[in-house]
Amino acid sequence: MSGRLAGRVAAITGSSRGIGRAVATAFLAEGAKVAVNSRDQAVADQVARELGARAVGIGADVATEAGAAALVEGAVDAFGRLDVLVNNAGITVAAHTLELDLDTWQKVIDLNMTAVFLCAREAARHMLVAGGGAIINTASVQAFAPFPRRLAYGSSKAAVVMMTRIMAAEWAPLIRVNAVAPGYVRTSMTEKLQAEGRIDFDAISRRTPQRRLAEPDELAGAYTFLASAEASFVTGETIVVDGGWLAFGAFEGI
């Protein structure tokens, strides 16, 4: 690796597994120090130990004001600064809209939207005083294409794209705010949906020009770029990493 993030400190929400952990691993490889987050402090600590000496675990529910503050304060206390925030924590629900209950809707909105707002606001308050930084939100290909049975998830991720633009406009020039929009990625979350019969990996692979799902570490490069000085004039943008999915448009069978 090139050390593109040497000397920088990053906090990554929902980074005990999946895309978040892959991003944490990539940031560490590029020289960053990383605050790993899970709701469970023991899980966060275990992952931090596995990642090495430049990682620290912070247990916090980032969908709450107290949790968002704990994440930012924990990173600053551990490493003395915060240069990069990655809003990665999220949840997906596959359900017919008529069967979507309010509690489930609210859980998706709380983690996919409210947590992004709270953590970004808390990080920005620190970064604006400290002289700047970068915030990277996690959207989805479903922000740009309608997927049946994904009302809560797709709506929340479309909101993340707009939140990214508004934050970028408000906090420039000191803070760059961008997003990454993954397509289908093989994670424990999507594997659970596959096991429940709610998605079909084979159908997804046939529908994707790259003919497969992504692996989590294939997303990490987009986050690393946006966190680095190479993206110094990039703000308010969403990078889609979908294996060509949007090139084919939406597909109702998935």
Determine the Cα–Cα distance for residues 63 and 83; give it in Å rounded to an integer: 21
Angle between helices 65-79 and 115-130 (to 10 degrees): 40
The answer to whether residues 65 and 43 touch, using CB atoms and an 8 Å cutoff, is: no
- In the sheet that 9-12 helps form, which strands lie side by side, from edge to edge? 55-59, 33-38, 9-12, 84-87, 133-138, 175-182, 238-241
Q: pLDDT tens across 128-186, in order?
A: 999 999 999 999 999 998 888 999 999 999 999 999 999 999 999 999 999 999 998 88
Catalytic residues: 153
Residue with tokens 């003395």: 80
CATH topology of domain 9-240: Rossmann fold (3.40.50)
pTM for the full model? 0.94
Per residue in 179-219, pLDDT (tens digit) is 999 998 888 777 887 887 777 888 888 888 999 899 999 99
Tell me the domain boundaries of the chain: 9-240
